[in-house]
Chain A
Amino acid sequence: MTAYHRPTDLDAALRLLADTGATVAAGCTDLFPATDRRALPGPVLDITAIPALRGIVATPEGLRLGATTTWTDVIRADLPPAFDMLKEAAREVGSVQIQTAGTLAGNLCNASPAADGVPCLLALDAGVELASTTGTRRLPLSAFLTGPRQTARRPDELLAAIHIPAAATAGRSRFLKLGARKYLVISIAMVAARIATDAGRVTQAAIAVGACSATARRLPDLERALTGAPATALAAHVTEDRIAPALSPIDDIRADAAYRTHAAAELVRRALTDLSPQEAAA
Chain B
Amino acid sequence: MAITLNINGRDYSIDADPQMPLLWAIREKAGLMGTKFGCGIAQCGACTVIVDGNAVRSCNTPVATAVGKSVRTIEGVSENNDHPVQVAWQDLTVPQCGYCQSGQIMSAVALLERTPEPSDNEIDKAMAGNICRCGTYPRIRAAIHKAAEMSKT
Contact = CB atoms under 8 A, between A and B. Distances in A.
Interface residues of A, number: 30
B126 A44 contact: no
Main secondary structure of the interface of B (DSSP, over half): mixed
Contact of A32 (B21, B124, B125, B129): B21
Contacts of B30: none
Interface in A95-115: 95-98, 100-101
Main secondary structure of the interface of A (DSSP, over half): loop
Interface string A26-67: 001101110000111010101011000000000000000000
Contacts of A96: 55, 107, 110-111, 125-126, 128-129
B97 interface: no
A183 interface: yes
A32 B41 contact: yes
Contacts of B21: 32, 38
B54 A95 contact: no
A106 to B, nearest CB: 12
B59 interface: yes
Contacts of B111: 96
Interface string B66-95: 000000000000000000000000000000
B148 interface: no
B62 A95 contact: no
Among B60, B111, B128, B129, residue most surrounded by chain A Cβ atoms (within 10 Å): B60
Contact of B128 (A2, A4, A101, A183): A183
B54 A100 contact: yes
A126 to B, nearest CB: 25
Among A6, A28, A91, residue most surrounded by chain B Cβ atoms (within 10 Å): A28
Contacts of B36: none
A25 B18 CA distance: 13
Contacts of A183: 124-125, 128
B11 interface: no
A213 interface: no
A41 B3 CA distance: 21
Given A39-B20, A95-B128, A96-B125, A28 B61 contact: yes
A94 B130 CA distance: 11
Interface string B6-45: 0000000000011111001000000000000000011101
Given A6-B18, A32-B21, A101-B57, A91 B62 contact: no
Q: Report, nearest first, the 8 A-B pairs whose CB atoms are least far apart.
A: A95-B129, A183-B128, A32-B60, A33-B41, A4-B18, A100-B54, A97-B57, A4-B19
Given A97-B107, A182-B128, 12 more contacts: A4-B17, A28-B62, A33-B42, A38-B21, A39-B17, A46-B65, A95-B45, A95-B129, A96-B125, A96-B128, A101-B60, A101-B61
Interface of A: 1-2, 4, 6, 25, 28-29, 31-33, 38-40, 42, 44, 46, 48-49, 72, 91, 94-98, 100-101, 182-184
20 contacts: A4-B18, A4-B62, A4-B64, A29-B60, A31-B60, A39-B19, A46-B19, A48-B65, A95-B129, A96-B55, A96-B110, A97-B42, A97-B45, A97-B55, A97-B107, A98-B57, A100-B54, A101-B56, A183-B125, A184-B128
Interface of B: 17-21, 24, 41-43, 45, 48, 51, 54-57, 59-62, 64-65, 107, 110-111, 124-126, 128-130
